[in-house]
Amino acid sequence: MEAWETPELLKAREELERLSTDPALRAVYEQRLLEVQLLASELRDAYDDGLEKGLERGRREGLLEAIELRLRLRFGEAGLALMPATRAVVAAERLERIRRALAEGATIEHLRALTE
């Protein structure tokens, strides 16, 4: 038996031949096919959105860890006191500015201003 002669493929071929000869059934089939394609597109978009949000969340968490470590090493408890305000910062770009300022030797007052 050839691979294209399996019972499942033969049944599918018969069904396709039947659908192609009946205009009403063909219209129903094409409508269903369109619905399936739209659903697949929506699922791809949802997956891409979820992936993007996950990457952004990971980036944000990494920045927060780096900031916390530098604050602890440079300023001790006084630096760690800035973490609640830093965690409240939503935009990763702003967190990146804070991280960069820490790397460049910013004062605790300057860092406090960046978190407000």
Span 24-69, pLDDT tens digits = 877 887 888 889 888 989 999 999 999 999 998 999 999 999 999 9
DSSP 62-96: HHHHHHHHHHHHHHTHHHHTTHHHHHT---HHHHH
Q: Is the pLDDT of residue 85 over 90?
A: yes
Which DSSP symbol is given to 116? -
Which structure tokens are listed for 96? Answer: 């990146």
Instruction: Give the pLDDT confidence score for residue 25 in this predicted structure.
Output: 77
pLDDT band, very low/low/confident/very high, at 76 (cuts 50, 70, 90): very high
Going from the C-alpha of 102 to that of each of 46, 52, 84, 97, 113, the distances in angstroms are 36, 27, 16, 9, 13
Instruction: Give the pLDDT confidence score for residue 47 in this predicted structure.
Output: 92
Task: Find where tokens 């609640």 sit.
Answer: 84
Q: Is the pLDDT of residue 77 over 90?
A: yes
Contact 85, 116 (CB under 8 A): yes
